[in-house]
Amino acid sequence: MTRALFIIDVQNDFTEGGALGVDGGAAVAAGITEFLGRHRDEYDLVVASRDWHSGEHDNQGHFAIGDMDPDFVNSWPPHCVAGTEGAEYHEGLEQEHIDVHIKKGQGVPAYSIFEGTDESGASVSEVLTSRGISDVDVVGIATDYCVRASALDALEHGQHVRVFTDLIAGVATESSEAALAELGHAGAEITESSALDRADA
């Protein structure tokens, strides 16, 4: 078994005070760092994604600009514009633990980490296949959007998937609960990161 950790979109614009900040985002950043301080050696690969949108246009309707009002389902206020502070990782997330950095949404809407590429242009599917990854744990922001989409795509890719509910934060309670129920039905294990501590005990 070879295991990867997906860290989804722990960025300034998705944490408190950001353009689309969610409650608990900063705590998720700190929690992931603390978790990796204890469990980094249990992962063969740590992959982190970031939205990396164009600031020059609406990213094929993803940004509500001009006279448009965002519907907060398919269109959103501008966020995570490439090269801005909002697109950077939250300071609570220590980057030293990350092996592969993925940028997604470069001019187009993108929710899943599988829609992005690394610095060399390789897709996440190619990265996982090249490293022989069979299991993926998923943490990050936001439960009801990019965490959901990334975990579903990991299942579709044939991975055994766990989602750690204590290391995610969602936009809304109802949609986050629905996303976790959907993921569980699709075959993901919905658990807490403390399960690893109990396993190590």
Catalytic residue among 9, 13, 137, 153: 9
In sequence order, the 6+-apart residues with CB closer than 8 A to the CB of 198 are none
Rounded Cα distance, 25 and 14, in Å = 7
The token pair that represents 168 in the structure block: 């995610």
Rounded Cα distance, 26 and 48, in Å = 16
Q: CB count, 10 Å around CB of 32?
A: 26
In sequence order, the 6+-apart residues with CB closer than 8 A to the CB of 22 are 14, 15, 16, 141, 142, 169, 170, 171
Confirm whether 9 is a catalytic residue.
Answer: yes
Rounded Cα distance, 73 and 124, in Å = 25
Confirm whether 146 is a catalytic residue.
Answer: yes
Confirm whether 153 is a catalytic residue.
Answer: no
Burial profile 69-82: b = 16 or more Cβ within 10 angstroms, e = fewer: eeeeeebbebbbbb
Catalytic residue among 104, 137, 144, 153: 104
Catalytic residue among 51, 103, 146, 153: 146
The catalytic residues are: 9, 104, 146
